[in-house]
């Protein structure tokens, strides 16, 4: 096959520009799609023959159809699949900004920013029910806009699909041959993050399958710029590289949340030392002390929101990430019964229960949590006046806090918290009520109310399949009702075919519209009833006219239209009876005709058919006995007549005479039997009269006639022989024997028979 070169055109549309790389079973070229004028990356694979090329094309087209579902700025989608002889081409969007490996040696913050983009795209892929299966630096490319994008998803259609993926990122499960899962992609993403931060893959150098299965990579220390990698990031990477999928983060969503928290911590101003045991939960428990009131409520809210995100990460993910070396983030110990004193500060320490500001801070934290829960339930979209009132109370509390009216602020925050939580708790019931209301409005044909109800349901649960389907159906309701009216008018006008077409058109708009299905079933039933009545009328008419075949066709059609109908079954039973009686009569007549013609074997076959139809027919049994006996006698006579050449044998003649005696017992023999007897008697009589037969030899050959005896040597000799077939053998020492078959005809005559051994041995 001619090597590819710049300027070549493949599949009639892709003009090659420059080679981007080679790997596995493919070459990748930058090319121009002449049908669209766009630049693409063209992966070109070579098949061994036409069959392999066709299979590869079909498989890649199926893969491309799946990947085209992925509509995300972080995924390079396939644009086209085409064949060029034994080459199969896959065109994808072109990204020439290099791969993710360019970040090896960069600072951890730059690496983290890129990995967050990759994780975002990968989470979207998992949400579509797919996996990447071969995540590594070379498969994450940068486009012209600077975005990092996934490419080269692992495909079962590629010639090298069963070869192992890169050892630098392969999970132990994929290494053992398991199909890739979301947990394997999480492992590979962790290995990729380790590679970029450490400047080399985990367990490098000398990576082997055994080490991947058994060894834990060293903990990360500093990045390529010499800056310490945050402890939280180190712990996250270690968790992603756990050998067991069960111990890895449960989803890309958990990974993304912690990556975001780590990134936020990088830009957050450092907090004052909190002393031993400090942590997110301790920060929320700590009682503030009296001091200069310089905190802004907005700053307090921002700080508490950050702390809340940390708490959520601890609560919803980290408890599952445990192995023998202990949890990544140790939970704070239970609060002791006694109040833990704060570090000494000027002035007396105010007990928590008596500190209005502490109560306000606690109420603010609770309000923030409740607001987050309400927003997660979409209450800001559907909460209406309740949401506005909760917001008003929250704003009122902020103002009171700023004015240092902590008691009033705490009361406002508590009231806002109650409303926010009430909204969050009401989300399921609100959704169910909206869905029910939409369905009821749809069923009664109220299109505006149905659309409004389903849209409200989608405000509560965006993307819910039932609500999306209901909204789609509701938007077609006006067309559906118009179609139903048109169908009803056509039905009323007596045009069922046109009505059926109109009802079918309604079902194309909405396959679940029950009134249309009911109307079609009713019209189909009416049409079937008419067809049944017509078929029955045709069948009974044909039955009365004696047209059995036409009657059976029509009655079977009626029974197919109405299975089990008693009338149709009775008519068919009558037809079967009539046909059976006609058949019996016809068979009996034919058997008699064949017997009269002395065609005994055929007559016996007809009697057997009669008895199969009615085993009780005595006449048929008697007829079968007679015809079978006569058929045997007929066959024996024919066999004896065929033995005419053997009537020079007394034993054969005796057998023939026995058959003649049996034939003589038949009373009133027909012409066929009489003729057989006459011919056989003539053959026996002729065979009983010998005739002279002359033999000639060379007086050196010894001659023997089988069944007669030896003649010895002679020159010429005449022998009296009965008509029939004989075998004559001549022998002579030193010569090959001579064997001749001789037929002696009644009446004699014929040329002399020469028997000489003339061929020396």
pLDDT digit string, tens, across residues 641-687? 998 888 888 889 999 999 999 999 998 899 999 999 999 998 898 88
> What are the DSSP calls for 555-623, one per residue?
HHHHHHHSTT-HHHHHHHHHHHHHHHHHHHHHHHHHHHHHHHTT-HHHHHHHHHHHHHH-TT-HHHHHH
Measured CA to CA, the distance from residue 384 to residue 375 in angstroms comes to 13
Asked whether residue 332 carries a pLDDT value surpassing 60, the answer given is no
Residue at token pair 């942590």: 279
Is residue 284 within 8 A of residue 365, CB to CB? The reply is yes
* Rounded mean pLDDT, 469-487: 90
Is residue 604 within 8 A of residue 624, CB to CB? The reply is yes
- Strand runs labelled E in 56-133: 78-84, 87-93
* Rounded mean pLDDT, 139-161: 77
Measured CA to CA, the distance from residue 582 to residue 8 in angstroms comes to 82
Residue 268, helix vs strand vs coil: coil
Which of the 8 DSSP states describes residue 393? H
Strand (E) or helix (H) holding 434:
helix 406-443
Asked whether residue 276 carries a pLDDT value surpassing 50, the answer given is no
Asked whether residue 323 carries a pLDDT value surpassing 70, the answer given is no
| Residue 243: per-residue pLDDT | 92
- Strand runs labelled E in 216-374: none
Helices 548-561, 566-596: inter-axial angle, 10-degree rounding:
150
| Residue 30: per-residue pLDDT | 93
Which of the 8 DSSP states describes residue 715? S
Residue with the larger pLDDT of the pair 157 and 102:
102
Measured CA to CA, the distance from residue 13 to residue 79 in angstroms comes to 13
* Rounded mean pLDDT, 94-111: 91
* 435: Cα within 13 Å, side-chain hemisphere: 16
Is residue 316 within 8 A of residue 286, CB to CB? The reply is no
121: CB partners within 8 A, 6+ apart: 72, 73, 74, 75, 148, 149, 150
Tokens of 513: 């519209």
Is residue 498 within 8 A of residue 489, CB to CB? The reply is no
Residue 394, helix vs strand vs coil: helix
pLDDT digit string, tens, across residues 551-578? 899 999 999 988 999 998 999 988 888 8
Alpha helix stretches (DSSP H) within 180-251: 182-198, 209-214, 231-240
Across the chain, what does the average pLDDT equal?
83
What does the buried/exposed string (b/e) look like for 497-525 if buried means 16 or more CB atoms within 10 Å of the residue's CB?
eebbebbebbbeebeebebbeebbeebee
Measured CA to CA, the distance from residue 602 to residue 165 in angstroms comes to 79
Measured CA to CA, the distance from residue 106 to residue 196 in angstroms comes to 8
Measured CA to CA, the distance from residue 585 to residue 581 in angstroms comes to 6
Measured CA to CA, the distance from residue 415 to residue 718 in angstroms comes to 148
Rg of the chain in Å (alpha carbons): 52
Is residue 652 within 8 A of residue 646, CB to CB? The reply is yes
Strand-strand pairing, 38-46 and 87-93: antiparallel
Asked whether residue 581 carries a pLDDT value surpassing 90, the answer given is no
Measured CA to CA, the distance from residue 466 to residue 450 in angstroms comes to 13
Measured CA to CA, the distance from residue 37 to residue 15 in angstroms comes to 10
Asked whether residue 205 carries a pLDDT value surpassing 90, the answer given is no
Residue 701, helix vs strand vs coil: coil
Residue with the larger pLDDT of the pair 715 and 85:
715
Asked whether residue 272 carries a pLDDT value surpassing 90, the answer given is no
| Residue 266: per-residue pLDDT | 79
Asked whether residue 348 carries a pLDDT value surpassing 60, the answer given is no
Please, which pLDDT band fits residue 62 given cuts at 50, 70 and 90? confident
| Residue 466: per-residue pLDDT | 93
Asked whether residue 230 carries a pLDDT value surpassing 50, the answer given is yes
Measured CA to CA, the distance from residue 417 to residue 409 in angstroms comes to 12
| Residue 107: per-residue pLDDT | 94
Q: For residue 249, with 0-12 CB atoms within 10 Å meaning exposed, 13-18 middle and 19 or more buried, which class applies?
A: buried
Measured CA to CA, the distance from residue 559 to residue 464 in angstroms comes to 48
Asked whether residue 313 carries a pLDDT value surpassing 90, the answer given is no
Nearest to 125 by CA among 69, 178, 190: 69
Asked whether residue 441 carries a pLDDT value surpassing 80, the answer given is yes
Residue 594 falls in which region: left (phi positive, over 0), alpha (psi -120 to 50) or beta = alpha
391: CB partners within 8 A, 6+ apart: 416
Asked whether residue 477 carries a pLDDT value surpassing 50, the answer given is yes
Measured CA to CA, the distance from residue 655 to residue 650 in angstroms comes to 9
Nearest to 666 by CA among 686, 637, 624: 637
Asked whether residue 25 carries a pLDDT value surpassing 90, the answer given is no
Please, which pLDDT band fits residue 344 given cuts at 50, 70 and 90? very low
Nearest 5°: phi and psi at 247?
Answer: -95, -5
Is residue 541 within 8 A of residue 510, CB to CB? The reply is no
Please, which pLDDT band fits residue 688 given cuts at 50, 70 and 90? confident
| Residue 429: per-residue pLDDT | 92
Asked whether residue 458 carries a pLDDT value surpassing 80, the answer given is yes
Asked whether residue 24 carries a pLDDT value surpassing 50, the answer given is yes
Nearest to 590 by CA among 578, 577, 581, 602: 602
Distance, CA of 523 to chain centre:
36
Cβ atoms < 10 Å from Cβ of 85? 12
pLDDT digit string, tens, across residues 614-641? 999 999 999 999 999 999 999 999 999 9
306: CB partners within 8 A, 6+ apart: 264, 268
Measured CA to CA, the distance from residue 16 to residue 407 in angstroms comes to 74
| Residue 154: per-residue pLDDT | 78
Which of the 8 DSSP states describes residue 75? B
Please, which pLDDT band fits residue 268 given cuts at 50, 70 and 90? low
Helices 671-687, 618-641: inter-axial angle, 10-degree rounding:
30
| Residue 421: per-residue pLDDT | 94
Residue with the larger pLDDT of the pair 395 and 338:
395
Cβ atoms < 10 Å from Cβ of 569? 14
Nearest to 366 by CA among 408, 307, 313, 324: 307
Measured CA to CA, the distance from residue 499 to residue 497 in angstroms comes to 5
Percent of the chain with pLDDT over 70: 87
Please, which pLDDT band fits residue 186 given cuts at 50, 70 and 90? very high
Q: For residue 686, with 0-12 CB atoms within 10 Å meaning exposed, 13-18 middle and 19 or more buried, which class applies?
A: middle
* Rounded mean pLDDT, 105-120: 92
| Residue 190: per-residue pLDDT | 95
* Rounded mean pLDDT, 423-430: 92
């Amino acid at each position: 096959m001619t090597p590819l070169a710049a300027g070549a055109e493949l599949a009639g549309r892709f003009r090659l520009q420059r080679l981007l790389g080679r790997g596995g079973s493919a070459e990748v070229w930058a090319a121009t799609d002449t049908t669209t004028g766009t630049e693409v990356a063209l992966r070109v694979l070579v098949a061994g023959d036409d069959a392999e090329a066709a299979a590869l094309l079909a498989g890649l087209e199926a893969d491309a159809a799946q990947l085209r579902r992925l509509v995300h700025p972080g995924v390079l989608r396939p644009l086209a699949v085409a064949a060029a002889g034994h080459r199969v081409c896959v065109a994808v969007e072109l990204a020439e900004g290099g791969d993710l490996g360019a970040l090896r040696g960069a600072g951890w913050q730059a690496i983290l920013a890129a990995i967050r983009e990759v994780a975002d795209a990968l989470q979207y892929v998992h949400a579509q029910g797919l996996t990447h299966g071969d995540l590594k630096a070379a498969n994450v490319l940068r486009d012209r806009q600077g975005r990092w994008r996934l490419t080269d998803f692992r495909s079962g259609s590629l010639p090298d699909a069963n070869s192992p993926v890169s050892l630098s990122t392969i999970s132990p499960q994929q290494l053992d041959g398991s199909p890739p899962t979301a947990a394997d992609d999480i492992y590979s993403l962790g290995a990729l993050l380790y590679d970029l931060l450490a400047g080399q893959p985990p367990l490098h150098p000398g990576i082997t399958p055994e080490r991947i299965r058994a060894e834990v990579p060293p903990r990360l220390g500093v990045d390529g710029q010499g800056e310490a990698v945050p402890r939280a990031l180190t712990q996250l990477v270690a968790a992603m590289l756990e050998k067991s999928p069960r111990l890895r983060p449960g989803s890309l969503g958990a990974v993304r949340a912690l990556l975001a928290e780590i990134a936020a911590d990088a830009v957050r101003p450092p907090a004052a030392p909190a002393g031993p045991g400090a942590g997110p939960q301790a920060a929320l428990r700590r009682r503030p002390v009296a001091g200069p009131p310089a905190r802004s409520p907005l700053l307090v809210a921002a700080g508490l929101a950050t702390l809340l995100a940390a708490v959520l990460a601890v609560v919803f993910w980290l408890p599952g990430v445990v192995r023998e070396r202990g949890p990544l983030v140790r939970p704070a110990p239970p609060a002791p019964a006694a109040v833990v004193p704060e570090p000494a500060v000027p002035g007396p320490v105010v007990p928590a229960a008596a500190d209005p500001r502490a109560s306000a801070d606690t109420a603010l934290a609770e309000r923030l949590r409740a607001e987050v829960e309400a927003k997660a339930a979409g209450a800001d979209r559907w909460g209406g006046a309740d949401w506005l009132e909760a917001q008003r109370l929250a704003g009122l509390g902020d103002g009171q806090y700023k004015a240092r009216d902590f008691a009033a602020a705490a009361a406002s925050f508590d009231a806002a918290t109650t409303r926010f939580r009430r909204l969050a708790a009401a989300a399921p019931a609100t959704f169910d009520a909206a869905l029910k209301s939409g369905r009821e409005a749809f069923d009664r044909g109220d299109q505006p109310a149905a659309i409004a109800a389903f849209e409200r349901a989608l405000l509560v649960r965006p993307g819910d399949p039932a609500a999306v389907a209901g909204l789609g159906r509701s938007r077609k309701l006006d067309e559906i009702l118009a179609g139903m009216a048109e169908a009803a008018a056509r039905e009323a006008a007596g045009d069922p075919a046109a009505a059926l077409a109109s009802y079918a058109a309604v079902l194309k708009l909405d396959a679940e519209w029950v009134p249309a299905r009911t109307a079609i079933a009713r019209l189909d039933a009416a049409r079937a009833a008419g067809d049944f009545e017509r078929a029955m009328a045709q069948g009974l008419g044909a039955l009365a006219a004696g047209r059995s075949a036409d009657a059976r066709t029509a009655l079977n059609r009626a029974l197919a239209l109405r299975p089990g109908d008693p009338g149709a079954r009775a008519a068919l039973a009558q037809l079967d009876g009539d046909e059976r009686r006609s058949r019996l009569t016809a068979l009996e007549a034919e058997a008699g005709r064949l017997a009269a013609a002395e065609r005994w074997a055929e007559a016996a076959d007809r009697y057997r058919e009669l008895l199969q139809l009615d085993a009780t027919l005595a006449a048929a049994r008697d007829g079968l006995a007679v015809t079978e006996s006569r058929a045997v006698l007929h066959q024996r006579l024919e066999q004896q007549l065929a033995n005419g050449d053997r009537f020079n044998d007394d034993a054969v003649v005796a057998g023939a005479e026995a058959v003649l005696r049996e034939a003589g017992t038949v009373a009133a023999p027909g012409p066929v039997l009489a003729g057989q007897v006459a011919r056989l008697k003539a053959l026996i009589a002729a065979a009983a009269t010998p005739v002279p037969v002359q033999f000639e030899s060379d007086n050196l050959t010894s001659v023997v006639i089988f069944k007669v005896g030896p003649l010895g040597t002679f020159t010429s000799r005449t022998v009296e022989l009965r008509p029939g077939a004989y075998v004559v053998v001549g022998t002579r020492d030193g010569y090959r024997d001579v064997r001749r078959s001789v037929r002696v005809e009644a009446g004699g005559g014929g040329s002399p028979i020469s028997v000489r051994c003339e061929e020396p041995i």
